[in-house]
Structure 1
Amino acid sequence: MSTTDNRGPLQVERRTRLLEVLQRHGVLRISDLTDTLGAAAVTIRRDIAQLASEGLVRRVHGGVALPDADDPAVAADESATQPSGRSLGMLVPSLDYYWPHVAQGAEEAARELDLRVVLRGSSYDAGDDRPQLTRLVDQLAVDALIVTPRMHAPTAPATVAWLVGTGLPVVLLERTATFGPHHEVLESVVTDHALGAAMAVRHLVSLGHRRVGVVLAENSPTSPHVHRGWQEAAAECGLATESTVDIAVPDARTPESPAALDAVLDRCLRTGTSALLVHADAEAIALVQRCEERGLSVPGDLSVVAYDDEVAGLFSPPLTAVRPPRRSIGRAAVRLIADRLSDPERPAHRVVISPALRIRGSSAPPH
């Protein structure tokens, strides 16, 4: 074991004891070691990760084993380069919108790499993600984590610190975070939502629209990125955003939605706004239906581009929409995990994937 690193005497003693116990038993579960060493499962996992990177042990599902007796160096090398049979804990904020496609992509990539995804759903309203994450790590003994934490929650800094402290490979989905005094980054896979919004604006400008507004779902983590892309593209195209529509609306299922959408349409009529980028699909569909009720035609009186493309193409008229690369996001996260399991010392990677614009029947040149 290296004596030139920054480990303290307690860590060295604990890891030495771990190796001594492992020499006697050959294979041990995490729960065995927490009892024997009197340390938390998170601490034990960090120790195992360090020892595995040094080739002194090999990680197995739910525990640790000695390298093969015939050739320890080869066994350690295989442990570092072969992720086969390992399980990945995946926690997403919803299992009924957007995220099922992400999970599907993750499952596809995991099967190709002989990995197993343990999927769990949280909630956008959850106060703390850690109970679910703790169960994945301590009870289900996953080997890595793919997580979409609630970064605006008061518990977010503690959650990020906990994720780092597990010693497990961690990839964030559609979120970014840093840790430590030097703001080191966690690995992440995100959609370039600002680029998607800018693509929508440029499409509408190419049709001849000069007043392009934006309508955003309240409390959506994606909305700030869509808003930024709208602002940047509008400035690039010479559009005056201050004299058009820039409004956040409540969930389309709430009683407040019709009045909020009326306010949007009233603002469009007052300012001469002829096109809108609307996040998300439900709000875009509700807006088009409100146009029908008020005798406004889409795209005749108002062009609409939806952001998400979950169901926008099924509506009548089919809505032009920006489609985030949901399955690709899931696939890329699993590949990042597999690469990290194969090479624990590799630099942190941040993957940004571009969305696509699907042009359909809700956008047309203005009158």
Structure 2
Amino acid sequence: MSELGWTRRDAIRRHLGLWGSARTSELRARFEVSERTIQRDFNAIVADSADITRVHGGLVASGDPDRARLRVGLLVPNPDYYFDDVLRGAQDTAERLNVRLVTAEHKYQDDLERLLLERLGEVRLDGLVVTVDHDEDRHRFLARQGLPTVIIERPWCPELRNVDHVAGVGGYLDHVFSDHVAGAALGLQHLVDLEHRSIRCLFRNTPTTSALARGVRDAADHLIALGVTVETWLLPMGAQRRDETWCTAIDEVVSACLSDGVTAVMAHSDPVAEDLVDRLRAAGLAVPDRVSVVTYDGSRTATELGLSAVSPRRRAVGAVAVERIVDRLRQGGRRGSTGQPGFRISLVPEFVAGRTTGPAPGFMA
């Protein structure tokens, strides 16, 4: 047999060791040879190994099925309505790609986050998908793990260049996140298209808020030229749903709608929008005939209540993160390669029309 044939069969054996299976069609395309050539390679590999079995369309490693699977750690704050969808997207993609996910949740507690990262570092993993805040210490810690890592739903921004450089993360640290800046513009544009010219934004303090506020600021010049005024109000830090500070902030927006000519509100998150709609209606302001409300969140609750929503593509975030980790590992071996360029993937949210937005009063669409 030619040297090229030996090289090809060694590559097929490495593929089996990494993925646990090999398909004829995939290998034909990869090596640019005929199906008959791949079949001869399969016959030779099976003859040399008792741990490999012929199946329709390819080969499978017949030992422990978990042995050859990639193992990826997934650390998120908690499986609430937001990260539940991220988790589902990651799980569905992991199952499709024959990847085992090792999941944990840090509940926004720094000590627990570090403890869980350390424990994940003690497990045999091939990559990490994590939701952690950006700072030098965290980036250094992640880089020390020596694993391809994707940070999800913590948007990268230019200021992070220094953090990445100081931490020395090289090609280990990548980012997949919802583009909340674009999402804010999407919500505002919907309201402007309906001829609303006086808009309030009421945002809860979350990791999403700074990007939303930046999106509103970025749109300011364009909106002013159209005669649109937008003001952004923030719920007080630490405000909990329906406590005094929460209710006071919502009532101030209702007052602006009653006396200041405000005809539309973009609220973050869904609980804020839900309570705002209730208070507007209680004050005699019909939604959407008198005031339109867009929520920036778009959970299942928003769908059930018929809220018009800008909805981050949460499932896609989890799915793309797992896909990127697997791509890195396929290109660079089981623990990946730091020689590959880093990536920052932002996913633009979608607008989901509901029953809480309509033309501005006096405007016929």
Same fold (TM over 0.5): yes
Report the counterpart of residue 180 of structure 1 in structure 2. Answer: 165
Asked if 1:313 corresponds to 2:303, the answer is: yes
Q: Structure 1 CA distance, aligned partners of 2:250 and 2:147?
A: 46
Measured in 1, the distance between the counterparts of 2:225 and 2:240 equals 28
Residue type matched to 1:341 in 2?
A: L
Partner residue of 1:97?
Answer: 81
Q: Do structure 1's residue 170 and structure 2's residue 159 form an aligned pair?
A: no
* 2:272 is aligned with 1:283: yes
- Give, in angstroms, the shift of residue 184 of structure 1: 5.2
Q: Is the 8 A contact 1:211 1:240 kept in 2?
A: no
Mapped contact 2:313–2:350 kept (Cα < 8 A): yes
Distance in 1 between the 2:179 and 2:277 partners?
26
SS at match of 2:358: coil
Is the alpha carbon distance of 1:206 and 1:241 closer, same or farther for their aligned partners in structure 2, counting shifts above 3 Å?
A: closer
Which one-letter code corresponds to 2:321 in the other structure?
A
Closer, same or farther in 2 for the Cα pair 1:239/1:119, shift >3 Å? Answer: farther
Determine the C-alpha separation between the residues in 2 that align with 1:75 and 1:253. Answer: 61
Contact 2:89–2:317 (CA under 8 A) maintained in structure 1: yes
Post-superposition shift, 1:306? 0.3
Deviations 1:203-249 (A, max 9, x none): 1111110112211002x010111112222234213269996532111
Q: Report the count of equivalent residues.
A: 290
Superposed, 1:184-333 pairs within 5 Å as: 186-218=173-205, 220-238=206-224, 244-249=230-235, 250-310=239-299, 311-315=301-305, 318-333=306-321
Query: In structure 2, what residue type is equivalent to 1:363?
Result: T
Q: Residues 319 and 362 of structure 1 are in contact (CA less than 8 Å); yes or no, is this contact kept in structure 2? A: yes
Structure 2 residue identity aligned to 1:78 = H
* Residue 351 of structure 1: aligned partner: 345
Q: For residue 97 of structure 1, report the CA deviation from its aligned partner.
A: 2.2
The answer to whether the Cα contact below 8 Å between 1:211 and 1:272 also exists between their aligned partners in 2 is yes
Structure 1 residues 349, 244: CA separation in 2 closer, same or farther (over 3 Å shift)? closer
Query: Where in structure 1 are there 5+ consecutive unaligned residues?
Result: 1-69
Instruction: Name the aligned partner's letter for residue 159 of structure 1.
Output: R
Q: Distance in 2 between matches of 1:231 and 1:269?
A: 25
How far is 1:254 from its partner? 3.3
Worse overlay, 280-289 or 176-185: 176-185
Q: Report the alpha carbon displacement of residue 162 of structure 1 after superposing the two structures with TM.
A: 0.5
Pair 1:183–1:126, CA change in 2 (3 A): closer
Q: Does the C-alpha gap of structure 1 residues 71 and 354 become closer, same or farther in structure 2, counting only changes over 3 Å?
A: closer
CA distance in 1, matches of 2:110, 2:252: 31
Does the CA-based 8 Å contact 2:139-2:169 persist in structure 1? no
Report the alpha carbon displacement of residue 291 of structure 1 after superposing the two structures with TM: 1.1
1:77-92 alignment, distance < 5 Å: 78=15, 82=19, 84-92=68-76
Q: Which residue is 1:337 aligned to?
A: 325
Describe the shift of the 1:221–1:243 C-alpha distance in structure 2 as closer, same or farther (beyond 3 A). Answer: same
Does the 8 Å CA contact 1:274/1:303 hold for their aligned counterparts?
yes
The aligned counterpart of 2:131 is 148
Aligned to 1:32: none
Q: Bigger shift: 253-262 or 325-334?
A: 253-262
Q: 1:129 to 1:239 in 2, by over 3 A?
A: farther
Which residue type is aligned with residue 314 of structure 1? E
Name the CA distance, whole Å, in 1 between partners of 2:227 and 2:125.
Answer: 48
Aligned pairs for 1:127-146 within 5 A? 127=111, 129-138=113-122, 140-146=123-129
Match of 1:360 among 347, 354, 364: 354
Q: Spell out, residue by residue over 1:117-166, the C-alpha distance to the aligned partner (whole angstroms, 9 max, x if none).
A: 1111112243562111111121x322211000033xxxx32111010111
TM-score (norm 2): 0.73
Separation in 2, partners of 1:75, 1:237: 58
Q: Distance in 2 between matches of 1:183 and 1:135?
A: 20
Call closer, same or farther: CA 1:174–1:290 in 2, change over 3 Å.
Answer: same
Report the TM-score, using the length of structure 1 for normalisation. Answer: 0.72
Q: Is the 8 A contact 1:144 1:170 kept in 2?
A: yes
**Stretch moving more, 239-248 or 323-332:** 239-248
- Report deviation, 1:312: 1.1
Q: For residues 169 and 321 of structure 1, do their structure 2 counterparts lie closer, same or farther at Cα, with a shift above 3 Å needed? A: same
